[in-house]
Amino acid sequence: MILTEFQEFMLKERWKVINKFQKMYKTSEAKEEALRSMEDKDIDFLIYCSNNIHACMFYSRFFKQRRIIEME
């Protein structure tokens, strides 16, 4: 698949978001603590920016746990 110029730009921008998050919170514990303080829409944004299935699963799993906790 050949990406358009715009698609390539957006891919780079999404990568920058995840890269910055990874640099700020280096350990899983630090990431979880940061995610606990984030709003759901911010977690959704991280999921959107992720191009790694493992990162998407990590954020998604946390998001689901947060929703379950809020419902109780």
pLDDT tens digits along 27-55: 989 999 999 888 888 999 999 999 889 98
pTM of the model: 0.75
In this predicted model, which residue has the larger pLDDT, 71 or 23? 23
Extract the tokens encoding 48: 């959107």
Contact 46, 18 (CB under 8 A): yes
Q: What's the average model confidence in pLDDT over 1-25?
A: 92
Contact 63, 47 (CB under 8 A): yes
Confidence of residue 72 (pLDDT cuts 50, 70, 90): low
User: Over the chain, what is the mean pLDDT?
Assistant: 86
- Position 55 scores a pLDDT of 87
